[in-house]
Amino acid sequence: MRVRPITDDELPGYIETSMRAYAEDKHTNGGVPLDEAFRQAEQETAQLFPRGRLSPATRC
Count how many domains the chain has.
1
56: pLDDT strictly greater than 80: no
Task: Give the domain range for residue 23.
Answer: 11-51
With beta carbons less than 8 A apart as the criterion, state whether 12 and 52 touch.
yes
Residue 57 within any structural domain of the chain: no
Q: Can you give the pLDDT at residue 23?
A: 98
Residue 20 within any structural domain of the chain: yes
Residue 40 within any structural domain of the chain: yes
Residue 44 within any structural domain of the chain: yes
With beta carbons less than 8 A apart as the criterion, state whether 52 and 42 touch.
no
Residue 41 within any structural domain of the chain: yes
Distance CA 52, CA 29 (A): 27
Average pLDDT over residues 11-15: 95
Average pLDDT over residues 1-23: 94
Residue 3 within any structural domain of the chain: no
Residue 59 within any structural domain of the chain: no
> What confidence category does residue 57 fall into, taking pLDDT thresholds of 50, 70 and 90?
low
Residue 28 within any structural domain of the chain: yes
55: pLDDT strictly greater than 80: no
